[in-house]
Amino acid sequence: MIRGFHPTERLLPSSQVLVVSGETGCGKTTQVTQFILDDYIERGMGSVCRVVCTQPRRISAISVAERVAAERAESVGDGNSCGYQIRLQSRLPRKQGSVLYCTTGIILQWLRSSPLLSTISHLVLDEIHERNLHSDVLLIIVKDLLRVRQDLKVILMSATLNAEKFSKYFNNCPMIHIPGMTFPVQEFLLEDVLEMIRYRPQKKEQRPRWKRGFMQGQNSRPEKDQKEAEYKESWPCYARTLRDKYSDRTIDVLEMMDDDDKIDLELIVQLIRHIVLSQEEGAILVFLPGWDNISGLNDLLMAQQMFKSDRFVIIPLHSLMPTVTQTSVFKRPPPGVRKIVIATNIAETSITIDDVVFVIDGGKIKETHFDTQNNISTMTAEWVSLANAKQRRGRAGRVCPGKCYHLYNGLRASLLDAYQLPEIMRTPLEELCLQIKILKLGPIAEFLRKALDPPTEEAVTLAITHLMDLNALDRSEALTPLGFHLARLPVEPHIGKLILFGALLGCLDPVLTIAASLSFKDPFFIPMGKEKMADFRRRTLSRDSKSDHLTIIYAFTGWEEAKRRGYKFEREFCWDNFLSANTLQMLHNMKGQFAEHLLGAGFTSSKNPKDPESNTNSDNEKLIKAVIVAGLYPKVAMIKPSGSKKRPVRVYTKTDGKVCIHPKSVNAEETQFNYTWLIYHLKMRTSSIFLYDCTEVSPFSLLFFGGDVTIQMDQDQETIAVDDWIVFQSPARIAHLVKNLKKELDSLLEEKIRSPAPVDWSNRQSKDCAVITAIIDLITTQERPDVNARNTEPRGRRQYHNNDDGDEYENCCISSQPREKLRP
């Protein structure tokens, strides 16, 4: 594109909506916004022009704003013509005659106070082909908004492949295409690679998968099963077409390789050797789906003497890696040194490594899906889409002609989906439903049916049901007082509830640390080759708390103390404990934002997370664990002795039976627990069902902050139960005391949510203080349970299976009495 040529000049005056399609690198993000602004300035109308351009990622909004400001010979923000705004950070331009780059979530926040976006003249929605949750919702809102604001101009910017779909959604609005500016890239498929390097796998089953048979239903989605069945049916015919071009050896190996198996890392090593020994200079970028593959390939390369030399710099790129490693990918190595970057799909669009000449596309991408039938998220390595493959190929043509090696065959290539499934169709919808209600966009299901690709009715119904169970929506789908506060907090509902309870129970600062970490990421990183040491340091930081959440608190407070002592101490603390200072600083900033929300809502009297009035009980770790229950319930798992010395304990959930604690957790290798229950943040199915971020919790925590409490007679013993499935033996006096206190607490909390006001901890005689203090005392002074107490066997159907190492394990629907006896 050439500055001075305004492709929007002819079409924007006559049309409200315009689709601009173009490949990465064509300049549309930096130039289109300037064309619009410059056109208005030249016509003497600059003061009525305010262009806002959305970006799917924070890093994009900042980098693009800096680029545009530099082109205009200005600094970013400071009242100049270009600026940016992202969560917790902004450098704003002047209000009119300006361009603002922001994340999509910022626009959704603006809609709360300005439903018509009346201060915006032009809204540019960039990278809309990525189809994240916020951008799809914004498309629905904008489509409705255009009927009311006929002066608003909307420009949709998309990759080439699906521009027509967006045009059709906006009543066949006009389109402009901008040609790409990248160099040509030569592409190779798996059969080409095998022919080129004469590779033969060492440990492969000799029969191809299409001869071994295909097990229907092995995938979680029917459309994937259908694709695999089609692949199996078409393979013999496809193999025959290869015989004119490829050797029998190549075809035999192609048949031998299980096309749906794990990525063959040995093949990638051999391909990298081939590039190094026979191709010209240039960085190599390898795309792999996850950390295990990245780590495995790095180990294989470093096991070869050739790659240990100073002629190579090998850089793994993953969100778990230290920030210093991530930034090193942009540095060009000295002449004669070849850079090899091993990355996830973060290198597809988020960042540009401008010296890449060779791309190796592993062909897989990790994708999260939400199984509404089983109410569980799954994360699996899926085949890339055509759009992914195109983006990966484009990474090789930034500075000179390049080469891209796709590690899948031509038949697989013909069956790839055009795009990844939109996020709105594969993610839980609770947070989105609350946003729909607080923005007053009408009935949830009716609104979501207007989406470009609507989610299933089952997913919408499940989300609404969960919000009703959380008491965020009433039976008529209106926001409750709790729902109103949860919708205003920029986190998912369970984390929002955690924040509110932290404020109400006087342990604000540590609870905000937990909430920030759960809604962003924990601050630990994993340096390549030091995984065991990193795990050891994390366990050491946990102080035997049996809690991932408290471990984050200890890490954060340790960092704060080191930072107060000076940069040297901060750096040493982070280095010794494998912590990211940048992530910790981000968590600090997020805590400040949460505290401001609480002050604005009336729950606190200060925007300082460390305000003494809000932290009366912040040293009480048992209470903090109880607050975690209040936020995350009903995400509860039961710990049972296994009778095995190898694995003394096993973990179960009510709906899934046996599950595993994720290896990253401090509880993953724990053998001695004080109590029988864990509360967790996330449950996800990968190779097994894993629980992420879990904390051991006491019976009183579950009774006071869990679900409904009932008193039962069971086998001539009195019991007290939470939601009829978490059952404790209890003397009648204790059971009735707990139930009455629970009723008082629920009433008090409901009143506090309805009319927010800080708890006056100085007045211990008030009813508020009396009830809360009594409960805190019970939680805090509860004795260690009698581990010899009788444990009633689980009631319900049991199924016994054999796992990989021959152990027998129990997979049952839990409705059990744990071994604790309640003791005040």
CA distance from start to end of the chain = 75
Distance CA 272, CA 693 (A): 37
Angle, alpha carbons 449-451-452 (nearest 5°): 130
Q: Which of 167-176, 292-301, 470-479, 795-804 has the lowest mean pLDDT?
A: 795-804
Structural domains of the chain sorted by starting position, each given as residue range(s) with its CATH number in brackets: 12-178 (3.40.50.300), 185-421 (3.40.50.300), 430-628 (1.10.3380.30), 629-812 (no CATH)
Instruction: Identify the band that residue 5 occupies on the pLDDT scale cut at 50, 70 and 90.
Output: very low
Categorize the per-residue pLDDT at 790 as very low, low, confident or very high, splitting at 50, 70 and 90: very low
- pLDDT for residue 216: 41
Residue with tokens 């000179």: 400
Question: Predicted confidence band at 325 (pLDDT cuts at 50, 70, 90)?
Answer: low
Tokens 């509360």 belong to residue: 679
How does the average pLDDT of the chain come out, rounded? 85
Task: Name the residue type at position 801.
Answer: H
Least confident of 118-132, 660-674, 747-761, 800-814: 800-814
Mean pLDDT to the nearest integer, 575-594: 90
CB 689 within 8 A of CB 660: yes
The percentage of residues in the chain with a pLDDT greater than 70, rounded to a whole number, is 87
| Angle at alpha carbon of residue 35, lines to 34 and 40, rounded to 5° | 95
pLDDT higher at 767 or 369: 369
Which pLDDT belongs to residue 813? 28
Question: Is the Cβ–Cβ distance between 525 and 793 less than 8 Å?
Answer: no
In whole angstroms, what is the distance from residue 306 CA to residue 544 CA?
A: 44
* Closest to 137 measured CA to CA, from 157, 180, 108: 108
Task: With a cut of 80, say whether residue 442 has pLDDT above it.
Answer: yes
Q: What is d(CA 588, CA 605) in angstroms, rounded to the nearest whole number?
A: 19
Instruction: Determine the pLDDT at residue 257.
Output: 81
The residue among 183, 235, 216 whose CA lies nearest residue 24 is 183
pLDDT at residue 704 is higher than 60: yes
Share of the chain above pLDDT 90, in %: 52
Q: With a cut of 90, say whether residue 215 has pLDDT above it.
A: no
Residue 443 neighbours by CB under 8 Å, 6+ apart? 477
In angstroms, the CA 219 to CA 80 distance is: 53
Using CA of residue 587, residue 589, residue 590, residue 596, what is the dihedral sign? positive
**Hey, which of 49-53, 378-382, 527-531 has the most confident mean pLDDT?**
49-53
Rounded Cα distance between 201 and 787, Å, is 53
Residue type, 822: L
Q: What is the pLDDT of residues 717-772, one digit of tens each?
A: 788 889 888 888 888 888 888 888 899 988 988 898 989 988 888 777 777 788 88
Q: Could you give the dihedral angle defined by the CA atoms of residues 572, 578, 580 and 583, in that order, rounded to the nearest 10 degrees?
A: -130
| Average pLDDT estimate for 298-323 | 82
Model confidence band, residue 788 (pLDDT cutoffs 50, 70, 90):
very low
Question: Is it the case that residue 675 has pLDDT exceeding 70?
Answer: yes
Query: Looking at 570-725, which runs of residues are DSSP E strands?
Result: 636-641, 649-653, 657-661, 677-685, 689-697, 709-714, 717-722
Query: pLDDT per residue over 559-572, tens digit each?
Result: 999 999 999 999 99
- The DSSP-derived string for 745-769 is HHHHHHHHHHS-----TT-TTSHHH
Q: How far apart are CA 225 and CA 206, in angstroms?
A: 23
Strand, coil or helix: what is 682? strand
Peptide bond into 634 cis (omega under 30): yes
CB 824 within 8 A of CB 779: no
How many whole angstroms separate alpha carbon 640 and alpha carbon 648?
9
Q: Is the pLDDT of residue 286 over 70?
A: yes
Specify the higher pLDDT residue, 759 or 555. 555
Question: Could you report the per-residue pLDDT of 24-46, keeping only the tens digit for each?
Answer: 667 788 899 999 999 999 999 99
pLDDT of residue 793: 32
Asked whether residue 130 carries a pLDDT value surpassing 90, the answer given is no
CB 251 within 8 A of CB 235: no
Backbone Cα Rg of the chain? 29
**Which residue type sits at 520?**
F
Task: Return the pLDDT at 666.
Answer: 94
**H-assigned helices in 652-766:** 699-705, 732-754
CB distance 719 to 703 below 8 Å = no
Alpha helices in 163-264 (DSSP H): 163-169, 190-197, 209-212, 222-241, 248-256
What are φ and ψ of residue 443, in 5° steps? -55, 140
Mean pLDDT, rounded, for 801-815: 31
Given a contact cutoff of 8 angstroms between Cβ atoms, the answer to whether 461 and 444 are in contact is: no
Q: Is 225 helix (H, G, I), strand (E, B) or coil?
A: helix
101-110, 710-719, 750-759: segment of lowest average pLDDT = 710-719
Q: What mean pLDDT comes out for the span 144-159?
A: 92
Instruction: Fill in the DSSP letter of residue 271.
Output: H
Whether pLDDT at 808 is above 90: no
Confidence of residue 221 (pLDDT cuts 50, 70, 90): low
Is residue 378 within 8 A of residue 686, CB to CB? The reply is: yes
- Work out the average pLDDT over 483-500: 93
Instruction: Give alpha helix (H) positions in 43-153.
Output: 58-71, 104-113, 133-148
User: How far is Cα 474 from Cα 729, in angstroms, rounded to an integer?
Assistant: 33
What are the strands of the beta sheet with 50-55, ordered from one edge?
A: 89-91, 82-86, 98-103, 50-55, 122-125, 153-158, 17-22, 175-178
What pLDDT, on the 0 to 100 scale, is given for residue 800? Answer: 29
Reported as a single tens digit per residue, the pLDDT across 241-276 is 999 899 999 999 998 886 555 789 999 999 999 999
Q: Is the pLDDT of residue 76 over 70?
A: yes
Q: Count CA atoms closer than 13 A to 587's CA, side-chain side.
A: 29
- pLDDT at position 214, please? 42
Give the pLDDT mean for 418-435. 91
Mean pLDDT of 394-402: 87
The pair of structure tokens assigned to 63 is 């980098």
What SS3 class is residue 714?
Answer: strand
Predicted pLDDT of residue 198: 92
Q: What whole-number distance in Å separates Cα of residue 705 and Cα of residue 477?
A: 24
Q: What is the pLDDT of residue 556?
A: 97
Among 163-177, 256-270, 499-513, 792-806, the range scoring the smallest mean pLDDT is 792-806
Between the CA of residue 157 and those of 161, 341, 479, 533, what are the distances in Å? Answer: 12, 29, 35, 46
Q: Is the pTM of this model over 0.75?
A: yes
Tokens 């449950």 belong to residue: 683
Residue 477: pLDDT over 70: yes
